[in-house]
Structure formats: structure tokens, C-alpha cells
Amino acid sequence: VALPLALLACWIEAGSFSQAVSNFNQIEDTQTAWLLLSVVCSYALGDVFFLLGARRIGVPAALVIASSYPIWSTLLGCLFQGDRLSFFQLAGVFAIFFGTAIVILSGQKKDQEISRSHIAIGVFLALGTSFFCCFFPSSVSKSIVGISAMLANAI
């Protein structure tokens, strides 16, 4: 459903069919590769890890843990892109970390006995989700330079 609508949007945005085709032809291979990486990491691997983790520790806990991807994004930005954090930005990252830890520690269902290994696997899978999802914003930001959002969605 989404692909035909995205292609139609590209056509409308370009003003003509030939211009829409020309816009697609101007996309560089590296842009396509970054978009592919974003889809594989966040939607394919991230979703699989999330669903498997949610089966073990529950959807709320898995969702909160998976939502901690800014920690990974910040770490990768500092290590590989030379990003520097202000005090308040660093405090925000720590707030995410400690908030996530609180949810992990308090997320056990009281009425259901779950083994420690089951919880550990679920937490690992949910952390994997957050790790894969951290690639989405950076890979999309690298891929969409010079192309429209509709064109990126169609790809």
C-alpha cells in the first residue's frame, strides 16, 4: 500500500512523470545504501528483536528498554563523529539510562514467575532493539541530503 502512494507522491511532487524518473536516477548509490541500512537495522532486525524480547519480559518493559536508543546514538556520535555533549545533554543521557534501569528492575510481573535467564534474554533482546534502532536517525540523515522526503520514502 505504501509504495504506490509514495511513488504517486513523488510524481506529484516532481510535476511530471519524466521529472520523477529523473529524480530517482540522480540518487547516489551511497544514499540508497544508507536507506537500506536504516530499514534493515530498525525495521527488520529491530522489530524481530523487539517481538522476541517482548514475549519474554512483556511489551511495556521491552518498549521502554528499546526506547533507550538515544544512549547508543549519543555514544556512537561521540566516538565516531566527534560530537561533544554539554552538561545538560549528558544529564539527559544519564536520565534515560537510569530510567531504563528502573523499568528493567521493576518490570517483573508479580503474578507470573519468570526465570532469571528468561528475563536476561528478554532484556538482551530489547537492548538489541535499541541498538539497531539507533542506526535509523543517523543513516537517514546521511541518506536524504539533496533528496526529498517522498523520494526517500519511496526508496
Q: What is the per-residue pLDDT across 116-153, written as a single tens digit (0 to 9) for each?
A: 778 889 999 999 998 888 887 778 877 888 888 889 88
pLDDT score, position 114: 65
Report pLDDT for 112: 57
The list of the chain residues with pLDDT below 50 reads none
**DSSP-derived secondary structure for the chain:** -HHHHHHHHHHHHHSSHHHHHHHHHT--HHHHHHHHHHIIIIIIIHHHHHHHHHHHH-HHHHHHHHTTHHHHHHHHHHHHS-----HHHHHHHHHHHHHHHHHHHH-S-TTS---HHHHHHHHHHHHHHHHHHTHHHHHHHHH-TTS-HHHHHH-
CA distance 102 to 80: 29
pLDDT of residue 97: 78
Residue 149 CA to residue 18 CA, distance in Å, equals: 19
